């Protein structure tokens, strides 16, 4: 039997009963379900993603691709156990047209599943879970951020290029930590070096003493790391306090120091990280974006704000091509795939599996900024392994 989507059935039933005309003909606003962490260790990340997305809408007089937008906010608490029920609320109770979410790689899987099964477009403005743009890729799923593999791969390459031969990866024990460890391992390997150890701490725990106690005995020349938000603040402080930095430098995916340099203070000074964004990127779009973001929020922009803004730009590209109809799946996806997104990070396009192809910058924390000091990997695409989608 031909698969009929829930939305097609709802529309069919309503039309049969003579209850409605197509929403777009009535000029109904597009409902975007914004599922992000607004509490817990990733709360600041969720707030900046939301603010970046809202900034783009405000710059376009409340519209995207010519269609008015209504936002429904839902706090997912970065809790994978609550994710299926949260997604269901948005799709079944609130009947959203588009999903935007989320930060945590475990939570995003419920959104990916809903997008695939219910054929609702999903824009991922952070979570790097590689499956979303590898085995579970879909015409309905688009990422404006990164795969967990990308920034860490860049860091591994940069370390190897500096002559480091052996390094360890320290991280939270969940998909983002482990997959970024794989990127780090691959980057080191491609540069002729080796990742010898993977040390983990349960998410979102911040008792790092047991792993810190092991590091000096590992025989490594550097430690790479994935932590973000509140956990990154604590890890960087604890690493500095342990005295390890004098002999075994700390580096990582850029989330380690992104948006958290103020609370990290002197403990972060000199830490090198790799990310698809950095402070001082000198392009006109970035300068304008940072000014507008600061004026709107009184906060400095960071990668999370950029990813929210760019999710809005991608959605706008799809809506412009379909005259506001996000359910016109083929034309909507084709337009986003063909778009060149004029991002504050530098313009990017999507790979065939819908993940940004982007430069990974090498940065160093200096005087409260993640200053770009070089390129870790130019125009880097995630391998997209296992993606079976027409054109991928």
Q: Which residues bind ligand BEZ (CB under 6 A)?
A: 42, 103-105, 126-129, 148, 176, 228, 255
Beta-strand pair 272-275/349-350: unpaired
The nearest distance, CB 265 to ligand BEZ, in angstroms, is 21
Minimum CB distance to ligand BEZ, residue 156 (Å): 17
Judged by beta carbon, residue 226 or residue 348, the one nearer ligand BEZ is 226
Q: CA 73 to CA 87: how far, in whole Å?
A: 12
Q: Which residues have C-beta within 8 Å of that of residue 363, sequence separation ≥ 6?
A: 254, 257, 272, 273, 274, 275, 278, 279, 370, 371, 372, 373
Residue number, 129 or 286, with CB nearest to ligand BEZ = 129
Other beta carbons less than 10 A from residue 391's beta carbon: 10
In whole angstroms, give the CA distance from residue 178 to residue 183: 9
Identify which of residues 120 and 228 has a Cβ nearer to ligand BEZ in the complex. Answer: 228
Q: Which residues contact 28 (CB under 8 A, 6 or more apart)?
A: none
- List C-alpha distances in Å: 131 to 5, 52, 179, 207, 249: 23, 25, 10, 29, 31
What tokens appear for 173 in the block? 């024990």
Shortest Å, Cβ 79 to ligand BEZ: 12
42 versus 309: smaller Cβ distance to ligand BEZ: 42
CB of 338 to ligand BEZ, least distance (A): 27
CB of 105 to ligand BEZ, least distance (A): 3
For the CB of residue 226, give the shortest distance to ligand BEZ in the complex, in Å. 7
Q: Would you say 228 or 362 has its CB closer to ligand BEZ?
A: 228
Closest contact distance (angstroms) between CB of 151 and ligand BEZ is 9
Cβ proximity to ligand BEZ: between 64 and 232 the closer is 232
Which residue lies nearer to ligand BEZ by CB, 103 or 350? 103
Residues 6+ apart with CB under 8 A from 364: 270, 271, 272, 370, 371, 373
Residue 293's contacts (CB-CB under 8 Å, 6 or more residues apart) are 51, 52, 55, 299, 300, 301, 305, 309
> Which is nearer to ligand BEZ, 69 or 103 (by Cβ)?
103
Residue closer to ligand BEZ by CB (options 40, 65) is 40
Q: Which is nearer to ligand BEZ, 228 or 326 (CB)?
A: 228
CB neighbours of residue 374 within 10 Å: 13
């Amino acid at each position: 039997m031909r698969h009929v989507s829930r939305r097609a059935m709802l529309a069919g039933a309503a039309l049969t009963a003579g209850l409605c005309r197509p929403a777009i003909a009535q000029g109904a606003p597009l409902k975007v379900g914004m599922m992000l962490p607004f509490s817990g260790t990733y709360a600041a990340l969720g707030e900046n993603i939301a603010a970046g997305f809202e900034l783009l809408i405000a710059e376009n007089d409340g519209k995207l691709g010519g269609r008015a937008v209504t936002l429904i906010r839902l706090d997912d608490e970065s809790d994978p156990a609550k994710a299926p029920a949260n997604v269901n609320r948005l799709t079944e109770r609130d009947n959203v047209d588009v999903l935007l979410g989320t930060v945590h790689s475990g939570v995003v899987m419920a959104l990916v599943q809903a997008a695939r099964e219910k054929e609702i477009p999903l824009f991922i403005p952070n979570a790097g879970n590689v499956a979303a743009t590898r085995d579970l890729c879909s015409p309905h799923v688009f990422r404006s951020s990164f795969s967990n593999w990308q920034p860490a791969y860049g860091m591994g390459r940069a370390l190897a290029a500096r002559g480091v031969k052996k390094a360890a990866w320290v991280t939270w024990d969940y998909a983002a930590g482990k997959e970024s460890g794989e990127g780090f391992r691959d980057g080191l390997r491609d540069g002729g070096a080796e990742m010898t150890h993977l040390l983990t701490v349960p998410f979102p725990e911040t008792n790092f003493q047991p792993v810190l106690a092991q590091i000096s005995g590992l025989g490594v020349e550097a430690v790479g790391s994935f932590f973000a938000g509140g956990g990154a603040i604590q890890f960087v402080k604890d690493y500095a306090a342990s005295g390890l930095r004098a002999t075994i430098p700390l580096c990582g995916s850029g989330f380690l120091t992104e948006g958290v340099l103020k609370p990290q203070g002197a403990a972060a000074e000199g830490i090198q990280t790799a990310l698809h964004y950095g402070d001082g990127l000198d392009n006109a779009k970035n300068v304008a974006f940072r000014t507008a973001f600061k004026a709107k929020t009184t906060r400095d922009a960071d990668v999370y704000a950029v990813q929210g803004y760019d999710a809005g730009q991608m959605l706008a590209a799809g809506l412009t091509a379909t005259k506001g109809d996000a359910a016109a799946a083929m034309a909507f996806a084709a337009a986003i795939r063909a778009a060149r997104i004029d991002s504050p990070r530098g313009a990017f396009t999507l790979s065939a599996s819908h993940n940004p192809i982007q430069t990974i910058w090498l940065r160093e924390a200096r005087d409260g900024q993640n200053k770009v000091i070089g390129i870790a990997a130019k125009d880097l695409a995630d391998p997209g392994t296992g993606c079976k989608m027409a054109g991928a």
